[in-house]
């Protein structure tokens, strides 16, 4: 194996670069070294670049590839040659070598997921962030903390849950998981994506451009919504979610920090990358995100359950837009995400 590789790294605020001299990382005892086959882009990739850049850090959070080396303490979990995908913390000032936009990456073994037979690397690359965040948001102890399905058996429940932004990558995963958990799933998106979110399991869809969106949700549910997960997390999404929650109040979880004004609504937020079980830092000001051990323990259980559900065909990857250009092409994809030119699909690049 060569000693250096190609990668996409952060240079400075708003600027990234494709380089060919990045050292190949060495896996720790609880990690695997993966030869990446495909990477997928997330909004968080350009958000970090444009707000809290970590200079010289490898970017990227989503990947799919083949295991080439296994840490000594996780050899019962993966073997050389296994096809895997999952979540890695990219743009990390604490470990600049971490990140998925590279030919070889290190990943915390306990939260990675085997790729089922017959699933392409392109499709598998869309799973990591969205699927991990969906389980975390719904069942995680620091989030909505909904009842965990005992013995991997989901029970039917009649209660409604509102997923705001159902056509986003995270929203699509949230719909699938919430539906499996037995909830009646309500969601919002543009009318052009109504059919798409229904294929993921949404029971009823509302147009978030409609001024009466929140009122329509209240009317449809007879003022009973009390659980909301916001996959968009803007001031407008917060307003609609607050107004959609019934008069008895409820719980609101967002994928980005958000300010909720209703005193009868319990709001939560957590950075989904706490799933890796380590502290990490953002940006030149060294903003530290501390370890959350209970979220790491949850993520380990969720990764195993996710692998089972996926292998059984109960969840499926997201819509893919495969682009050329390899890792160098990622730079154009980041710009398109920044400019809002990507909707209802994941940009994927073969490495």
Q: Which two tokens stand for residue 238?
A: 């917060």
* CA dist., res. 168 & res. 177, Å (int): 14
Please determine, for residue 188, whether its predicted confidence score (pLDDT) is greater than 80.
yes
What does each C-alpha distance from 36 to 72, 83, 102 come to in angstroms?
21, 10, 7
Mean pLDDT in residue range 20-29: 96
pLDDT at 151: 52
Please determine, for residue 249, whether its predicted confidence score (pLDDT) is greater than 90.
yes
* CA dist., res. 87 & res. 83, Å (int): 14
Per-residue pLDDT reduced to its tens digit, 140-168: 999 999 986 655 555 666 789 999 999 99
Topology of 144-269 in CATH? Answer: Rossmann fold (3.40.50)
pLDDT at 39: 98
pLDDT at 281: 87
pLDDT at 344: 81
Please determine, for residue 199, whether its predicted confidence score (pLDDT) is greater than 70.
yes
What's the predicted TM-score (pTM) here? 0.94
First and final C-alpha spacing in the chain = 16
pLDDT at 155: 60
Topology of 4-129+273-350 in CATH? Answer: Quinone Oxidoreductase; Chain A, domain 1 (3.90.180)
Per-residue pLDDT reduced to its tens digit, 101-121: 999 999 999 999 999 999 999
Q: Give the residue extent of every domain in the chain.
A: 4-129+273-350, 144-269
Establish whether domains 4-129+273-350 and 144-269 are of one fold.
no
């Amino acid at each position: 194996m060569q000693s250096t590789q190609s990668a996409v790294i952060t240079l400075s605020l708003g600027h990234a670069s494709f380089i060919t001299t990045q050292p190949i990382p060495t896996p720790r005892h609880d990690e695997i070294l993966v030869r990446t086959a495909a990477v997928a882009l997330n909004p968080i990739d350009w958000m970090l670049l444009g707000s809290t850049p970590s200079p010289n850090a490898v970017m990227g959070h989503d990947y799919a590839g083949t295991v080439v080396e296994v840490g000594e303490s996780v050899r019962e979990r993966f073997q050389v040659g296994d096809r895997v995908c999952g979540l890695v913390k990219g743009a990390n000032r604490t470990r600049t070598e971490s990140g998925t936009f590279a030919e070889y990456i290190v990943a915390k073994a306990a939260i990675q997921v085997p790729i089922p037979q017959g699933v392409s690397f392109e499709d598998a690359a869309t799973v990591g962030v969205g699927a991990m965040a969906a389980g975390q948001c719904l069942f995680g102890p620091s989030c909505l903390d909904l009842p965990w399905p005992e013995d991997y058996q989901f029970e039917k429940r009649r209660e409604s849950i509102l997923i705001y932004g159902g056509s986003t990558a995270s929203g699509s995963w949230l719909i699938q998981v919430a539906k499996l958990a037995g909830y009646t799933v309500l969601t919002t998106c543009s009318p052009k994506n109504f059919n798409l979110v229904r294929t993921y399991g949404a029971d009823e869809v509302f147009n978030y451009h409609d001024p009466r969106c929140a009122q329509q949700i209240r009317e449809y549910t007879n003022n009973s919504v009390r659980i909301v997960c916001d996959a968009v997390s803007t001031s407008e999404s917060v307003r609609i979610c607050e107004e959609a929650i019934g008069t008895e109040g409820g719980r609101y979880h967002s994928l980005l920090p958000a300010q909720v004004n209703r005193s009868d609504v319990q709001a939560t937020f957590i950075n989904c990358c706490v799933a890796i079980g380590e502290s990490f830092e953002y940006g030149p000001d060294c903003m530290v995100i501390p370890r959350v051990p209970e979220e790491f323990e949850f993520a380990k259980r969720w990764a195993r359950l996710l692998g089972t559900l996926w292998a059984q065909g109960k969840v499926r990857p997201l819509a893919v837009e495969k682009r050329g250009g390899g890792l160098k092409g990622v730079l154009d994809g980041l710009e398109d995400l920044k400019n809002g030119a990507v909707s209802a699909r994941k940009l994927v690049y073969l490495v």
